[in-house]
Chains A and B, each alone.
Chain A
Amino acid sequence: MQAVKIVVTGPFSAGKTQFIKTVSEIDVVATERKITGADERAIKESTTVAMDFGRLTIDDDLVLYLFGTPGQKRFDFMWEILSEGMLGFIVLVDSTRPETFREARNILETFKAYAPTPYVVAANKQDLEDAWDVEDLRIALRLPKDVKVVPCVAVDKESVKKVLLELLYSILEWIESGQAHRQPKEIEPK
């Protein structure tokens, strides 16, 4: 049995755990703990501290795992561990909370620095009245035009599927263009 994985990352309270829950065929293995900080507790009661873990069986020989990273910066040592061997990653952003956009940009930059894989940005909570328009979000996150920003509602299975598919299409293009199999340049010590 082959196993492959996609990583779902994003700022605190972007909806990562829900995203995985919506599409996973098993109960998501969530490592949530009660939040102690008053400011963060005002937003939600508990947060992911190690990872969320969901599964989709593709066929008899292939299974896709979805790993959700912890959103809080103090758990960022987990990001690199979870990213090893991934197909690509999804950066989930709460479209209603512009105060988290800067953090989303920092997370994206961190991932891009060590992960040469395709990614998409999922603009979550697009069903809410205060949600920023996808194109406004692109400007706020300073994303170039070739980066896909996909509208998303993490509680809606079709919406989650669309985000996953957009990422997979990007991955397919990346492989077909030969970039995935280009020999990486030797990294010299500084």
Chain B
Amino acid sequence: MALKGDLRSFSIVQLLNLVHLARKTGRLVIASEGEVAELYFQDGKLVYAALRSRPHSLLDVLYQARRLTAKQYKALKARAGNLNDKALGLLLVNAGYFTPQDILTILKDYYTNIVRRLFAWIEGRFVFESGVPMPKERIPVKLGLGNLIVEGSRQLREWERLREEIPDLNMALKFVEQPQTDVKSLNLSVEEWRVIAYVNPKNSLRKIARTLKMSDMEIRRIAYALMQAGIVELVRPDDYRPKRVIQHAFVNRSKEESISLVQRLINRISSR
């Protein structure tokens, strides 16, 4: 029977923990934010992972890992594009391009990064189909889940904290008027400098994240770090439009009437 649910009630980390402890074999399919991930497990270990939106043949993985140049990638695609991963792997090993260990290490890193990416998926649906074997044409690895679960738990806690600190990505950043810290004296990362280049009340955090191709978690983490350093503060963006603005008590009163009303309140409360 398939295990189904949503990530709000059962997180990725909890799912991995379940697979790990119960030493499950099967396929876990997770759909979130227009993306679908497929993870295959054997006896509680990750053997294969892919994101459906991204090319994930061995050739693509080697190219994405920068172990093939664009020229080599094109040439191999033309000559061996119809080979499955196992056959291609064998070809590359026999031709002396890679050792079997190289290929396994690159695949492990690739699958690990997919799982890391899933940790940022807070909403979505999942289904675990017990016993479904991984695609035969793919190269299996055996990746223990223990470290990933620990890493995921840390990220989940950080994610929850960041979501509480910066709940709305429609907010923008602006430089504080009198910073206590000199930006130049700070040891900022390249990513932090890239965000700083876009700090402007016109740019929502969501816009900055899209422009810089950052995940929600990354932009929150950087924004929070810059806020904590006292360089920037969170503001409503210039073009922010609330869904609705409520009417206050003075909308239908003249200025004089309003002043008189508030003065009556002040006088009465002062004398109580």
Chain B residue, CB-CB nearest to A158: B272
- Chain A positions within 8 Å of B, measured between CB atoms, are 2, 4-5, 56, 58-59, 62, 64, 80, 83-88, 102, 106, 109, 113-117, 142, 157, 161, 164-165, 168-169, 171-172, 175-176, 178, 180-181, 184, 187-188, 190
B241-265 interface bits toward A, Cβ cutoff 8 Å, 1 = contact, 0 = none: 1111111111000110011011111
Question: Which of B164, B236, B248, B264 has the most C-beta atoms of chain A within 10 angstroms of its own C-beta?
Answer: B248
Residues of B within 8 A of A102 (CB): 164-165
B269 touching A187 by the CB < 8 A rule? no
Task: Tell yes or no: B266 within 8 A of A by CB.
Answer: yes
B244 touches A114 (CB 8 A): yes
Which chain B residue lies CB-closest to A5?
A: B249
Determine the distance from Cα of A190 to Cα of B167 in the docked complex, in whole angstroms. 20
Q: Which size class do B's interface residues fall under?
A: 20 to 34
Shortest Cβ gap from B81 to chain A (Å): 44
Residues of B in contact with A (beta carbons under 8 Å apart): 164-165, 167-168, 233-234, 236, 241-250, 254-255, 258-259, 261-266, 268-270, 272
Of the residues A58, A168, A169, A175, contact of B255 by C-beta under 8 Å: A175
- A115 and B261 form a contact (CB under 8 A): no
Q: Are B261 and A84 in contact (CB under 8 A)?
A: no
B246, B254, B262: which contacts A83 (Cβ < 8 A)?
B246
Q: List the 4 shortest-distance A-B pairs measured between CB atoms, nearest first.
A: A58-B268, A117-B248, A180-B250, A175-B258
- Complex partner residue of A59 from B165, B249, B264, CB under 8 angstroms: B264
**A residues in contact with B168, CB < 8 Å:** 109
**Is the beta-carbon distance between A87 and B262 smaller than 8 angstroms?**
yes
Expressed in whole angstroms, the Cα–Cα distance for A176 and B167 within the complex equals 35
Our pick among B164, B258, B265 for the contact of A64 (Cβ within 8 Å) is B265
Contact present for B265 and A168 (CB under 8 Å): yes
Q: Which residues of B contact A109 (CB under 8 A)?
A: 168
Q: Are B268 and A168 in contact (CB under 8 A)?
A: no
Bound Cα distance A59, B233 (Å): 44
> By the criterion CB–CB under 8 Å, are A80 and B246 in contact?
yes
A sample of 14 cross-chain residue pairs with beta-carbon separation below 8 angstroms, ordered by A number, consists of A56-B272, A58-B268, A62-B264, A86-B249, A87-B248, A87-B262, A87-B265, A106-B167, A113-B242, A115-B248, A117-B249, A157-B272, A172-B263, A181-B258
